[in-house]
Each structure stands twice: as C-alpha cells, then as structure tokens.
Amino acid sequence: MASTSQPLRGKRACKKIFWAVFPHACFILSLVIYAFLGALMFSHIEGNRKVNLSEEYRNFLQNLWYISRNLSDNMTENEESFKEEIYVLLSTAKRDWFVNPKDIWSFFGSLFFCCTVFTTVGYGNTYPVTRTGKYLCMLYALFGIPLMFLVLTDMGDILATVLSKSYNEFRKLQSKLLAFNLCSGPTCNRGDRSKSRVLSKAAANEPLNIVEMLKNQSAVKRKPVQYRNAEIFELLIARENEYKKPSRSKSIERWSSCPELDRGKTMSRVIENFDKIGKELEKLDVPIVLMVLVIFVYISCAAAILPNWETRLDFQEAFYFCFITLTTIGFGDTQLEHPKFFLFFSLYIIIGMEIVFIAFKLGQDRLIGLYKKVISFCGEKRMPSKKVYPKKLYPK
C-alpha cells in the first residue's frame, strides 16, 4: 500500500505544479509566438519592398555634385559656405536611399523591431515605410502592448512574492538575532520563555478565551494598554476564523475518482490563478532604497556583458542604453550593430522591465502616502478650533 501511494502522491504533486505554472507559461508562450509571427509578417512586407529612386534622390545627387565642383583648392575661403550648404542638403536626404531593405528587415531585425513595438521602447532606427506596414504596425501594437503589460503584471506578481518573502525572512532572522542577543544575558528568565513556548503550543491546538489569553500571554502584558488590547483582539479574531472554516472530509477526496470533478477542480484553480494576477503587487512592502539597489546591480551586470559584442559601447554607454531600454524611454541615439545578439537578452529585458515596474509601483505608493499626509496636515491646520462657551444660566 505504501509503495502504491507514493507514485500517486508524486503524480498529484506534479499536477499541482503543472497547473500552478500553466497560466504563467501561457502568457510568456503567447508573447513569444506573437513576436515570431510579427517578425515573419514585417520581414515579408518591408523586406521585399522595391526601392524606387524618386526625383528627389536625383536632385540630391545633382546638388551634391554642384557643391563639390564649386569647391576651390583653398578650403579656408569657402569653408563656412560649404558647411551651410552641405548641412541644408543632408537634411533633405532620406535613409531609405542608401540602405537595402533586406539588410534591415531580416528575421532577427524584424523580431527586434517587434520587441521595440510591444515593449513601447521605440528606438526609431527601424520603422515601417510602406502603407501596409504602417497600418499593420498600428494593429500589431494595439494587441501587443496589452499582452506585454499582462505578462509584466503576471511576472511582476511572482517577483513581488519572491522579494516580499525574502525581505520578510530577512526581517525575521534579524529579529531572532536581536532577541538572542538580548536574552543571552543573565537577566533573561528561561523558565518564562519555556512556559510561553508550551502555552503557544497549547494555543495552537485549543482555542483560548479572553481570560486565558490575558493570563497566559506574558509578552502581551508588557506592552502598553492600547497595543495590548489591539493585539488580543486580532488574535481572537484569527482564532475564531480558523475554527469557523468548514472541515473537508479527506476520505471523500481520497476515494473520489470522477474525472469530470477533477477537471472542474483543476480548471477552477487555473481560473483562480488568473484572478490573482496583479494582487501580489498591492501587498508588496519593500523599502524603495532596496529596489533602487536591485535595479542598479541588475543593469550593471548587463552593462558589463553587452560591450563584449557591441565594441562601440563601453560600460557607461551600455549602462545608459540598458536604463533607457528598461524604462521604455528609447531615445534611439545609441544603435546596436548586432541586435540579434541582444535578442538573447529578451528574458533579461522582460525581467528588468518588471523590476522597474515594481519600483515605480512602490514609488507611486510612497507618493500617495506622502500626499495623504500633506493633505491631512493642511486640513488639520485649516480646521477652525471649536471654542467652548460657558452655558448661560437663565432664571426659571
């Protein structure tokens, strides 16, 4: 019996893990498929377009030949006029006259363009030229940007959970070390400590009433009255809610083998996982300084790796480029020579954008709290003080 129960437990654990990971994997997989389909579409439309050299291109070449012919051997005489004329002429030049579309709109180049569209970075170095490409770009962004935000919110919940749990565990460890240092002296009463442990174990098995709570919780007695009453009230409410939960029969769950019911349970769990998207970010309570430090370390790691294939970038330029990318600013002043190598950092971009998104969310919450305090402070200052007048005694 024990040997047969172990494979069943393993299968159940695998099913639980699968249905827990399935919604998150669906979001990421759908975004990857959407990016690949967009790359195929834009590489076919923009890469195969014909470059028609218009009359403007011919006029540009004629003006350039005219300026170069009028230059004298003495460059100092016509230097200023040459600079002005060539500046005006180059401002009318178009990039499409000197670039082969197939070189720009290759599969990896189109994939990089799609990533810049639905991440709202938009460097500006690659853009559609044909009318069909422009219309499809608008339609592609209309569905791609919400999908990207959905992936960011979903993965942001996972990162928020990991960060909050790690921070809480660090705080617990810090409090334990502090309590150990305080109780290591001769003033620590070990008898009371062991007694409180026994009482806490008993409290976990049996509900306590108000009298027993007041008698046994020695740690609560040392606190001031208002904090003591609040803590007792919260403990009682938590204990009452715990014992009001409906008890589920394990034997029924063990012997129920209806596949329809099992599918309904798994699908309901998946729906619950979808409903929980975005809720963990609301619960996140991590110092904003810690998030800024995480962002700095995260960008520094990429800035140290990126110059290995982008030789024109040093550490500072790579740090600036990664920051502009993760914050979705995308000036376009820094262009990559090998964007297909940077596509290997697509997971890095998504996770980095989530970290920046979490930092912005924390900063927004801090600003809202600050505004509330300022408004309440100003409201208290402007509230007129109530004057108490003595009651007049009228003769009966």
Query: Same domain for 209 and 324?
Result: no
Mean pLDDT of 148-163: 84
**Any domain includes 209:** yes
Between vectors from CA 237 to CA 202 and to CA 198, what angle results, nearest 5°? 15
Q: In which residue are the tokens 């980095």 written? A: 352
pTM of the prediction? 0.64
Query: Same domain for 259 and 141?
Result: no
**Any domain includes 283:** no
Structural domain count, the chain:
3
Contact present, 114 and 144 (Cβ < 8 Å) = yes
Residue that finishes a domain, picked among 120, 155, 190: 155
**Any domain includes 166:** no
Query: Same domain for 12 and 70?
Result: yes
Q: What is the pLDDT of residues 302-344, one digit of tens each?
A: 999 999 988 888 999 999 999 999 998 888 888 788 887 877 7
Query: Same domain for 150 and 185?
Result: no
Query: Same domain for 331 and 260?
Result: no
**Any domain includes 139:** yes
What is the residue range of 244's domain? Answer: 180-276
Query: Same domain for 132 and 188?
Result: no
Q: What is the pLDDT of residues 178-213, one digit of tens each?
A: 887 776 655 555 545 444 444 444 444 444 455 455
Query: Same domain for 21 and 73?
Result: yes
What would the two tokens of residue 213 be? 């709570």
Q: In which residue are the tokens 């494979």 written? A: 7
Residue 58 has pLDDT above 90, yes or no: no
**Any domain includes 391:** no
Q: In which residue are the tokens 């009001």 written? A: 244
Query: Same domain for 28 and 140?
Result: yes
Query: Same domain for 271 and 301?
Result: no
**Any domain includes 108:** yes
